[in-house]
Amino acid sequence: MHEAVAKGEADTVAMSNQDTTDFRLERLAAEQRFALWHDLVQPLFRVSLEERSAAGFQAEVRAVPVSDALLTTCSSQAQSFERSLSDVRSSGWDHVVIQHYVSGGFTGLCGDRSVTVEAGDINILDLNRTLRTRATDFSNLTLVLPRDRLALAGSHDLHGRAIGRGSALAAVIGGHLRSLAEHAPSLSPVEASTALEALCLMLSGSDLREADPLVRASAGASVHERICAYIDQHLDDPTLSPAAIAAACRVSRASLYRLFGFDGGVMAYIAGRRLDRAFTALSRPEAERSSIAQVAYRSGFSSETHFSRSFRSRFAMSPRDARRLAHGGLHPVGATPGVGPRDWVRTMHRLRETL
């Protein structure tokens, strides 16, 4: 379990588009800086350093929501980034990442593709794909964008693709991202959405159109979303089964298994969503009014023992540990899978206030 903690407003509080968070590590003891950075970045990537680099580690990040996207301005020391298949399956982020490196860069693997990114490049990452890279000291802007915002991401394999720094379009897109980072807090929701649309139009008009077509059909994605919505509405039903879901959503069981193959199967997906709901329930102030068994049954589990074992496997703590930490105002940043962009900024904001 990670030791970085946050406390503050309830997770149900909405975040304004104007809510900008700046996060710096210089106030922390040297041995604490990278541990906190590791937990802070984990919703996107797992990071690591060479051992001799940890003592003097420095990093800072500024994050601002832009409509339904998230834009960060970051500078940090050299480090390795990894996103494994397990991270992809558990994170719940169906987003693409658009980066502009102002200084520094990285090399490594995006899926099976070898990549090298340098200052001035515009590169694309797909959070549904694996990654293993090594960055130099760097400064960059990173836009975390819902996949359906960028139509090209639904039809082409953009993971690890880049628009080279020698391209005039790369300079224009870089300038657009820098201007957006500066002015986003002052934009209205309509203006912010329009700025994202302009960026997506520029990307769609680039050489990225020559990327390989994706096999996954957009129709399959919409069916998957419809089934996920149905599952969420019936999580408290212990009889929820593949047969019942297939009948209710009017798909064959073969199609259902295929759509959830990447999630480890439809029953594995259901179990994960039930555990996420239980974690949220145990983290609420009023959670002490219910026993662990009651939370388990309300979350769709028929056995408290099976629930506790599954909970520990997913969150690296017992249900009682989660309740105890929540009662003390503590929340392990990296413990909850499926943290979305706005949740991530909210966590960053609370950590900053705590420090």
Residues of the chain with CATH 1.10.10.60: 218-337
Q: Please name the residue that has the structure tokens 């049954």.
A: 297
If you average pLDDT over residues 83-111, what whole number do you get? Answer: 86
Q: Please tell me the predicted confidence (pLDDT) of residue 207.
A: 72
pLDDT class of 335 with cuts at 50, 70, 90: very low
| Region 218-337: CATH code | 1.10.10.60
If you average pLDDT over residues 177-192, what whole number do you get? Answer: 91
Tokens of 183: 């002015």
Give the CATH architecture of domain 43-210.
Sandwich (2.60)
Residues of the chain with CATH 2.60.120.10: 43-210
Show the 3-state SS of 222-268: HHHHHHHHHHHHCCCCCCCCHHHHHHHHCCCHHHHHHHCHHHCCHHH
pLDDT at 331 > cutoff 70:
no
pLDDT at 37 > cutoff 60:
yes
Q: What is the pLDDT of residues 53-88, one digit of tens each?
A: 666 788 888 888 888 899 999 999 999 998 887 777
